[in-house]
């Protein structure tokens, strides 16, 4: 059960909480493929072969395990390795990544996202808290956020409690005064619970909880249901 009277800030996951991430990633990869076909055709041939692309990304992830929290770095270096494997100039990785990254910001928000953001941001500081590399300002929703905390900037990723503690500091409150809202049972819920936050699990697909006896304070199917919790608790 949420203790709404104690909540002084919200930390909010982005991918799969405010929008479905995989359609966005697939579109960005398609745009990148088209760019490679025009500017690095040999690399485009390799990129069109899923097993090769998967092997290159796995190698980059293994060689840069210390940068697992920086998805932009890993994506850029995977593009660079693909180019080099095809005999193309490695410096093309920068413009190629920018094409991918720009498309990655073109998201299709869930219907409940904007109403929830407007509702919360009028009442509390809202801090974006993400392992991913979406930019809320480029997405077009930055006006609703007090601040953004990313795994890349923090140096650790959810469920590490340090990234949740960093978000609480940015919001200017104690972790116990934060409600974390996210879709991932392990990364969002387990991590935020360990940090001492209240947790709302946005379980759109109706998954079973399989992470022990410590459960989220609230489970909802959408953000509308979470906002309804506030109606009797003006902030």
Q: Is the pLDDT of residue 161 over 80?
A: yes
If you average pLDDT over residues 140-157, what whole number do you get? 97
Q: Model-level pTM?
A: 0.94
Single out the residue in 53, 84, 104 at which a domain terminates: 104
Residues 131 and 213 in one domain: yes
Q: Flag whether 41 is in a domain.
A: yes
Alpha-carbon distance of 166 to 197, in angstroms, equals 12
Alpha-carbon distance of 59 to 81, in angstroms, equals 9
If you average pLDDT over residues 52-61, what whole number do you get? 96
Residue 130's domain comprises: 4-19+109-228
Single out the residue in 70, 85, 104 at which a domain terminates: 104
Single out the residue in 104, 130, 160 at which a domain terminates: 104
pLDDT digits (tens, 9 = 90+) for 71-97: 999 999 999 999 999 999 999 999 999
Residues 82 and 123 in one domain: no
Residues 38 and 13 in one domain: no
Q: Flag whether 233 is in a domain.
A: no
What is the model's pLDDT at position 235? 47
CATH number at residue 94: 1.20.120.1600
How many structural domains is the chain composed of?
A: 2
What is the model's pLDDT at position 229? 87
Residue 18: closest CA among 84, 117, 85 = 117
Residues 134 and 224 in one domain: yes
Q: Is the pLDDT of residue 57 over 60?
A: yes
If you average pLDDT over residues 155-174, what whole number do you get? 98
What is the model's pLDDT at position 120? 96
Q: Flag whether 235 is in a domain.
A: no
Give me the percent of the chain exceeding a pLDDT of 70.
Answer: 98
Residues 63 and 169 in one domain: no
C-alpha to C-alpha distances, 115 to 65, 128, 152, 226, nearest whole angstrom = 38, 16, 28, 11
Residues 11 and 68 in one domain: no
Residue 126: closest CA among 232, 23, 227 = 227
Q: Is the pLDDT of residue 182 over 50?
A: yes
Alpha-carbon distance of 128 to 19, in angstroms, equals 13
User: Between 71-85 and 93-104, two packed helices, what is the crossing angle to 10 degrees?
Assistant: 130
Tokens of 79: 């593009």
CATH number at residue 129: 3.40.50.1000
Residues 175 and 99 in one domain: no
Q: Flag whether 143 is in a domain.
A: yes
Residues 204 and 217 in one domain: yes
Pairing of strands 126-130, 9-12: parallel
């Amino acid at each position: 059960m949420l203790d709404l009277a104690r909540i002084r800030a919200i930390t909010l996951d982005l991918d799969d909480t405010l929008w479905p991430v995989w359609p966005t990633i697939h579109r960005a990869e398609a745009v990148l493929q088209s760019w490679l076909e025009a500017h690095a055709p040999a690399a485009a041939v390799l990129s069109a072969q899923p097993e090769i692309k998967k092997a290159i990304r796995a190698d980059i992830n293994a060689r840069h395990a210390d940068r697992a929290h920086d998805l932009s770095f890993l994506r850029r270096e995977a593009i660079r390795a693909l180019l080099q494997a095809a005999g193309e100039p490695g410096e093309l990785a920068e413009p190629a990544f920018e094409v991918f990254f720009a498309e990655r910001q073109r998201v299709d928000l869930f219907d409940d996202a904007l109403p929830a953001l407007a509702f919360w941001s009028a009442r509390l500081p809202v801090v974006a808290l993400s392992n991913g590399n979406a930019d809320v300002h480029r997405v077009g929703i930055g006006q609703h956020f007090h601040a953004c905390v990313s795994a890349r900037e923090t140096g650790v990723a959810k469920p590490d409690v340090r990234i949740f503690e960093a978000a609480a500091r940015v919001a200017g409150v104690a972790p116990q005064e934060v409600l974390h809202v996210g879709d991932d049972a392990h990364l969002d819920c387990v991590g935020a619970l360990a940090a001492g936050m209240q947790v709302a699990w946005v379980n759109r697909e109706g998954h079973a909880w399989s992470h022990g006896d410590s459960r989220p304070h609230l489970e909802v199917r959408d953000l509308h249901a979470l906002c309804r919790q506030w109606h009797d608790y003006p902030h």
